[in-house]
Structure 1
Amino acid sequence: MDNPSKITEGGVVYSLGQFDGKEVIYEFDKVLIYLNAKGKLFFGKHFKIYQEDSQILFQLCNYFIRDKENCAKHNIDLDKGILLSGPVGCGKTSLMKLLRYIVPLQRPYEIIPSRNVTFSFNHLGYKTIEEFGNGKFYCFDDLGVEPLGRHYGKDCNVMGEVLLSRYELYNQTKGKIKTHATTNLNAEELEERYGNRVRSRMRELFNLIAFDSKTMDKRS
């Protein structure tokens, strides 16, 4: 890739900023134009970036482009992953699917619905927890609303166990292996779902970026 500040989608070249030969100087308004275009290609022509989400997007974009100065202003730790929370339908999953594309040279993460991890556990047992506790980059979607796992008559809070494994991995790799997640739940609900120990590990694993609880449902 000769110029990482330019990305071609559907035959159109989008500029994300200026490339000085060493690094890209991103321009937020250009990144938003690209995300809007990529979203329409990805999700259909009804997709759009909403003006009221610009503050959240600014934080997320700064995290993904690794803008140390702006991240420091928003208390975002570049070694941690992102926990993106907000009400149902506010666009969390869509944004996490799209933001991977503004940094094509960075290692991508796979988006996995949390309920699929539980279903896998129900079939395969603890092998599933090992599998998702491995060295891949993941974004666990809809964290906290997945059912309880059950394998050979034993109940298991599967995602709680996966998060503990991811935390160990995060420590072993000194933050090089990242975990992201989206959730509709607030901090108290997450603690109720996973317990205090997992919740305290989550604080160390994730930067919390939250939509306003009054954000409209964009799917209606």
Structure 2
Amino acid sequence: MSNKNPHIIIEGAVQYPLGTLKGKCIQYDFDKMLIYLDAKGKLLFGRNFKIHEEDREILFKLCSYFIGDRGVCDKFGIDTNKGLLLTGPVGCGKTSLMRLLRHMVPHKRPYEVIPTRNIVFGFNNIGYTVIEHYGDRRFYCLDDLGVEPTGRHFGKDCNVIGEILLSRYELFIKHKVRTHATSNLNAEELEERYGNRVRSRMRELFNLVAFSAKTKDKRK
């Protein structure tokens, strides 16, 4: 991507303008962003991917967050300095959106999407170095928060993701290192899974953005 045109993303031979450049500021156009996301989604996930009309409102919030539109984010109570906790029913598209939206702002620091169950499997094999690994300053999206198994290494149980969330909280407070997450669970279920101490840290670590509980399973 050319630094002279950060508002234009090139995929193959096609250019996707996401808005217009006014001086050093990009004036984003939401409908143009949706055109790009639909096209990029098909490249990433296959031709059956599509942007659903009923998701426009949540996409508007997410796009505003990713481009750093503080005026819009303030209206929705979203802090652009925090990470995102994207929740909703199974199959509503949380993971796909978190994998997709990072491509819309290639000039910003990327994050890696990691399934929580994979992290726990790693812990079961090699132990506490896995928790230390996620205490670094890279940006992550912890995918499927709360449904991972309890970690077990050399006969000792460990709430691996709970420990990682505490580490990520410290990184956020000290160094503004951002963490994102997706989950099928609601706030009460997450507190039951991780305990009140971790849940209170999560409130400071994340903006909660939720799909409607009635959102249909897009995989069917």
Category of TM-score, reference length = shorter chain: over 0.9
1:182 aligns with 2:182: yes
1:79 aligns with 2:81: yes
Q: Per-residue CA shift, 1:31-77, capped at 9, x if unaligned?
A: 00000000001100000000100111001001000001000000000
1:212 aligns with 2:215: no
Q: Per-residue CA shift, 1:173-208, capped at 9, x if unaligned?
A: 1x2x10000000001100010000000000000000
Q: Secondary structure at the match of 1:90?
A: coil
TM-fit CA distance, 1:20 = 1.6
TM-fit CA distance, 1:9 = 1.1
TM-fit CA distance, 1:23 = 1.6
Q: Per-residue CA shift, 1:76-124, capped at 9, x if unaligned?
A: 0011000000000000000000100111110000000000110111111
Equivalenced residues, count: 218
Amino acid at match of 1:186: N
CA distance in 2, matches of 1:9, 1:71: 28
Amino acid at match of 1:116: N
CA distance in 2, matches of 1:36, 1:201: 34
Alignment of 1:99-138 (within 5 A): 99-138=101-140
CA distance in 2, matches of 1:14, 1:87: 31
Amino acid at match of 2:103: Y
Amino acid at match of 1:84: L
Alignment of 1:1-220 (within 5 A): 1=2, 2-173=4-175, 175=176, 177-220=177-220
- Runs of 4+ aligned structure 1 residues displaced above 4 Å come to none
TM-fit CA distance, 1:21 = 3.2
TM-fit CA distance, 1:10 = 2.6
CA distance in 1, matches of 2:81, 2:7: 23
Q: Secondary structure at the match of 1:162?
A: helix
CA distance in 1, matches of 2:167, 2:128: 12
Amino acid at match of 2:219: R
CA distance in 1, matches of 2:150, 2:95: 22
CA distance in 2, matches of 1:187, 1:132: 23
Identical counterparts, % of pairs: 66
CA distance in 2, matches of 1:134, 1:121: 16
Gaps of 5+ in 1: none
